[in-house]
Structure 1
């Protein structure tokens, strides 16, 4: 008995020694692979299953380290580009909050690519421009460009106005002097969903998507279920959908309904175009028409669904969250809210002048929306893998160094770090819409950089500005703090994101 136990102890000790030795060698290799950059040292890497599952702590950066450590992580290491090395599980990565380095990562052709593991959540609907690389990305982008023209944004403006009116009527707010809203997010999510359906798919929804007396799920209900279960759809194995669990069955049914609806809509639009009918101004119709002109380089049905869905569902999330946060800032900073109100009155004094054509003059309203998006960024990581050995420039404490990065190394633009970088945005924790007065499109780095800039950025901006302008014409936003909570306490809680 003693001999057996002693033997097992030896085996266990040997396993521990081998594992420790292997990890030490891996750590040394990882340090070399990332150019011996200083940075985060933890038990597991942030880009790993363990890293995502557990909360942010000293030993596990977790999902929220970019936000929670944004004020000091780069300052502490004396550089805008750092490395992340795990002691136990995961691989190395380079993170940057430098605009110079970010431009290299996003703009380089062929040297970086997006892996399927990092874009899996976007592939639920099918191949799309967000997950594509190389020639496939170019083909997608060429076909999609005509769908994001001035006529599209004019339609977005009109549909936003319609949705705003329906929200007020549907909620029973007409004629009221004041409205208390404890949680605005269900309303902005619903509003953004209506906009997706109308401006995105050419299928207007009513504020109440349910069909009275119907036992089947409506298209609007299906969209609602999908937007609230994107992560669950990704992580739950397909075999689980055979289980009699209502939530999973609802998700399965919702995806089926939306897919069948979109396939039918694509077929209908193609037949209409073949018969000489003009294109409508929704994104899907314009993409179908553009794809039909590409011959053998056209998009398949799956590619049309994938590209339309990723743009619009991602835009839904960005729009809803940014509107929520903008209303919070308006309640905190009445001086900015008053400036926005006066601007709306000056630019659009009558309903006849409340047009998309005049919306470009709402520079202060747009600036407030953009500053909110900078502060509470929706897409907080732009992840690339190196497709070949490359050299990154502008790294180190003085941004005057170069490091060699071998093929297969993940390089991540920390978009939160970038947009809270005090060198780029002085006093980054202050809400300062004036940063964006008359800013050119190229300065709107919240929507990525260079050729990979988000094609739907003007869609989101148009909808956001229109929603805020509609609200400001008749309403003032005030804080509704819990009993006994001061303005400073409310603001501190709000800014924790």
Structure 2
């Protein structure tokens, strides 16, 4: 009798687990179907794990599972070849999430400039809060306040000045010094560090 009771409880638990699994699969299927229906016109690349998952920063591409490290850099424009689109979608089947990748400057400008239609996901910039509140990690009224403070530093005049200083420094420190050498071995970190400091110093003196 006790054995029958135990078996009955086990069977009940198994049936409950199966029912919950089926229910979860139904919900997942409906969500995936609705998402794919909305994204139907766009070229798509599928993976089980989302493009924003941390694991993509460390592992190579595994077809159907991971997009892999440096996905957008490695693929470049090849994902748009043979299509009429300059956007494509990556679909994470496991979490039913999608990401829209844009390769058109006008569209990118529209997305970046229209903060009401395309709100910025400030949660992705929380790591920058270690430096304190800033324009990149801010949104809405805080962003407007930071923007007003920093706007004068990013005027067209200052941008032109920085560009002029940068080209002169690159000419003097890289092109003129390297043009007679057949092979160059240099630390990119040291080089860019030196150039950055030189540009800031030169622009500040002008």
Scaled by the length of structure 1, what TM-score is found? Answer: 0.32
- Mapped contact 2:165–2:202 kept (Cα < 8 A): no
* SS of equivalent residue, structure 2 residue 76: coil
- For 1:107 and 1:190, the matched residues in 2 are separated by 31
- Mapped contact 2:43–2:83 kept (Cα < 8 A): yes
Q: Does 1:30 align with 2:38?
A: no
Higher relative contact order (CA 8 A, sep 6+): 1
Aligned partner of 1:142 in structure 2 is 148
* SS of equivalent residue, structure 2 residue 132: coil
Aligned partner of 1:157 in structure 2 is 165
- For 1:179 and 1:129, the matched residues in 2 are separated by 44
- Mapped contact 2:89–2:100 kept (Cα < 8 A): yes
Aligned partner of 2:70 in structure 1 is 64
* SS of equivalent residue, structure 1 residue 44: coil
Match of 1:123 among 116, 129, 134: 129
Aligned partner of 2:120 in structure 1 is 114
Match of 2:193 among 190, 199, 205: 190
Q: Does 1:95 align with 2:104?
A: no
Match of 1:44 among 25, 46, 49: 49
Aligned partner of 1:494 in structure 2 is none
Q: CA deviation at 1:76?
A: 4.8
Please give the root-mean-square deviation of Cα atoms over the aligned residues, in Å: 4.0
Q: CA deviation at 1:90?
A: 5.6
Q: CA deviation at 1:91?
A: 1.9
- Mapped contact 1:30–1:85 kept (Cα < 8 A): no
Q: CA deviation at 1:93?
A: 2.6
Aligned length: 190
- Mapped contact 1:44–1:90 kept (Cα < 8 A): no
Q: CA deviation at 1:40?
A: 1.8
Q: CA deviation at 1:30?
A: 1.9
Scaled by the length of structure 2, what TM-score is found? Answer: 0.67
* SS of equivalent residue, structure 1 residue 85: strand
- For 1:110 and 1:11, the matched residues in 2 are separated by 45
* SS of equivalent residue, structure 1 residue 102: helix
Aligned partner of 2:23 in structure 1 is 18
Give the greater-gyration-radius structure (CA).
2
The one-character-per-residue Cα deviations of 1:251-278 (angstroms, maximum 9, x if unpaired) are xxxxxxxxxxxxxxxxxxxxxxxxxxxx
Unaligned runs of at least 5 residues, structure 2: none
* SS of equivalent residue, structure 2 residue 152: helix
Q: CA deviation at 1:195?
A: 3.9
- Mapped contact 1:34–1:93 kept (Cα < 8 A): no
